[in-house]
Amino acid sequence: MQAFAALVDQLTYTRSRNGKLALIARYLQDTPDPDRGWALAALTDALDFPAVKSATIRRLMTERVDPVLYTLSREFVGDTAETASLLWPDPPVVQATGSEPDLPQAVAALHAMTRANVMTQLPQLLDVLDANGRYALLKLATGAMRVGVSARLAKLAFAQAFEVSVDAVEEFWHGQKPPYGPLFAWAEGGEPPRTDLLPLFRPFMLAHPLDDLQVDLKDFAAEWKWDGIRVQVVHVAGETRVYSRSGDDISASFPEIAATLDFPAVLDGELLVRGNDQGGADGGAASFNALQQRLGRKTVSKKMLAEAPAFVRLYDVLLLDGADLRELPWTRRRAQLEALLPRLDPDRFDLSQLIVANDFAALTAVREKARDDAIEGVMLKRRDSPYVTGRRSGLWYKWKRDPLLIDCVLMYAQRGSGKRSSFYSDYTFGCWNGDPDDGAEILPVGKAYSGFTDEELKMLDRHIRTHTIKRFGPIRETDKSLVLEIAFDSVHDSKRHKSGLAMRFPRVHRIRTDKPAHEADRIETLRAMVR
C-alpha cells in the first residue's frame, strides 16, 4: 500500500506530463503482479466499490469527529477523502494490532464490504494506515484519483514501460479486467490476449476542430455532425453490445438497438431519438434533450420505447464478418457500410448521408445554414484515412456551427474542487423575466464552470467575495451586478429549470464589466433561440 500511496502522492505534485509518464512507467516496471494491475485499474478509474461512497466516508467521520468541525474542514480542504485522511483519529497503540495491508489485500477488503458492514470494516483498514495511506485508500475506494492522470496517459505509461505500441494496448485493454494479468504477460513478451471471442469495445477515431483551416473537398468527404451520443455497436458470438464514447456498456439503456444486430460487426455511429428537430423531417432526429431522457437508465419502460425510440445513424464500419477493415481507406469502408445497410433493421439503423458540395466555399454556405436546420455542424473526413485510435492530425475534422451568445447576470457562485478548491469557479447565471425598469426579476437559466482564463477566474473570485449579499452553506449569492456573456451550442425546453429552458455546453465567453446588469438579455431572447 505504501508504494501505491507514494505513487499517488508523487503524481499529485508532478506537473509535467513526461514526469507523470515516467513515474507511472517506473512503478509498473518495479511493482509485482497483481499490485501493479490494481494500481493501473485505480488510475484508469476501472474500479467500483459500491459499498464505499463519499457519503459513507462523511458518515464515518461524523461518528468520530464533531459534525461542525468536519464540515468546516471539508469546506476548506475541498475533498472528502483528503479531509478524512487528515482528520481520522489515530487509534490507541494497543488497538492497532493489524498490520498494514498490501494493495491486493486492500482491494479484496474493499470488494468484500457491503452496505451493512462498511461502517465497521472500513475503519479497520483506516486504523492501520498513515495519513497518506488513508488518502490513497479512500481515493481508490471512491474513484476519481484526482492526480491529473487520464486513462489515456496511464495507457501511454504502460506502453512506455514495456516498449509496446499504445494502439495495441488500447486494442487489448477492453477485453481485460483488473488486475490485467494477461496484459502484463503480453507486454513482457508473452502471447497477446484473444480479442475475437467477446463483443469488445474498440477505441474510437476522433476528430480535430477545423478552426481556420480550409481543406480540398477532392481529398475530404463531408457529412453532418449529428447531436446525439457517439456509440459503437458490436456483435460477436451471438451477443450485441452498445458502447458509449468512453467505452461504457450502455446496452441495457437501449435494448431496441442491442436486439437488432445479428451478424459479426463493429459499427460506429450516432445514437439518436426519432423526431424532426435536427434537420427537419428529412433529418429525422429529435434534439439531444430527447435522448437525454433515456440516458443512464438501468431499465426502460415500454412507454419510453414507444415515445422516444432510439436508432443509430451509421458513420463507419470497423470489423465485418470476421474481417478487420480499419486499415482500409475511408472510401472503401464507406462502400462496405453502404453495402451492408440492407442487412440491418431500417427502424434501428440508417446511414449518415454525405453532403454534396462542389468546393469548400459551397460547403461553407451549407454549414452556415446548419444553425437554421438545428444541426450541430459538419464533419470532414480524409477520403484515404484508415480508422485509427484517438485524435490524429490531418485525418478527420469537426466543424461546429458558431456558438450562440447571450448576456446573463451572475447570480450564485460555489467553490470548485481540487485545484480550484479555494476559488469560486462554478457560476449560476440568469436573465430578466421582463423589463428590468418595470420590476422584472432575474431567473436562473444555467450554470457554467469553464471558458475563463486563470486571470479571469481570479477576477471572478474577487468579484464574488466582495459582492456577496447572502450565503446558503457553500453557495454565495451575489448582488447581481456582473454581466457574463455566455456562449452555448443550443437551448431546449426543460422542466428541470425554473426558466423552463436548458442550455447545451454553456461556458463563460467574456466578462462584460462594461455592461450594466439591467442591459443583460431577457429570457424571451433566449426562448427565441430554442429549436
Residue 310's CB is within 10 A of a number of other CB atoms, namely 24
CB of 79 to other proteins, least distance (A): 7
Specify the residue for cell string 489515530: 90
CB of 62 to other proteins, least distance (A): 13
CB of 475 to other proteins, least distance (A): 17
CB of 73 to other proteins, least distance (A): 5
- How buried is 146 (Cβ within 10 angstroms: 0-12 exposed, 13-18 middle, 19+ buried)? middle
Active site residue 139: no
Residue 499's CB is within 10 A of a number of other CB atoms, namely 20
CB nearer other proteins, residue 65 or residue 388: 65
In the complex, the residues that contact other proteins under the rule CB under 8 A are 12-15, 65-66, 68-69, 72-73, 76-79, 82-83, 86-87, 417-422
CB of 136 to other proteins, least distance (A): 12
Q: Which helix (H) or strand (E) element contains residue 368?
A: helix 360-368
CB nearer other proteins, residue 87 or residue 304: 87
Which three-class secondary structure state does DSSP give residue 497? coil
CB of 510 to other proteins, least distance (A): 25
Q: Kindly give, in sequence order, each residue whose CB lies less than 8 Å from that of residue 363, ignoring residues fewer than 6 positions away.
A: 217, 222, 355, 357, 378
CB of 13 to other proteins, least distance (A): 5
Specify the residue for cell string 420505447: 305
Q: State phi, psi for 515 to the nearest 5 degrees.
A: -110, 125
Contacts for 51-55: CB closer than 8 Å, 24+ residues apart: 51/110, 51/113, 51/114, 51/115, 51/117, 51/118, 52/110, 52/113, 52/118, 52/122, 52/141, 52/142, 53/142, 54/80, 54/81, 54/142
Question: Is residue 308 within 8 Å of residue 287, measured between CB atoms?
Answer: no
Candidates 124, 101, 131, 113; CA nearest to 47 is 113
CB nearer other proteins, residue 18 or residue 97: 18
First-residue to last-residue Cα distance in the chain: 54
Question: Is residue 309 within 8 Å of residue 274, measured between CB atoms?
Answer: yes
Candidates 38, 5, 24, 52; CA nearest to 148 is 24
CB nearer other proteins, residue 423 or residue 432: 423
Query: Could you say which of 20, 139, 155, 225 is catalytic?
Result: 225
For the annotated catalytic residues, the residue numbers are: 225
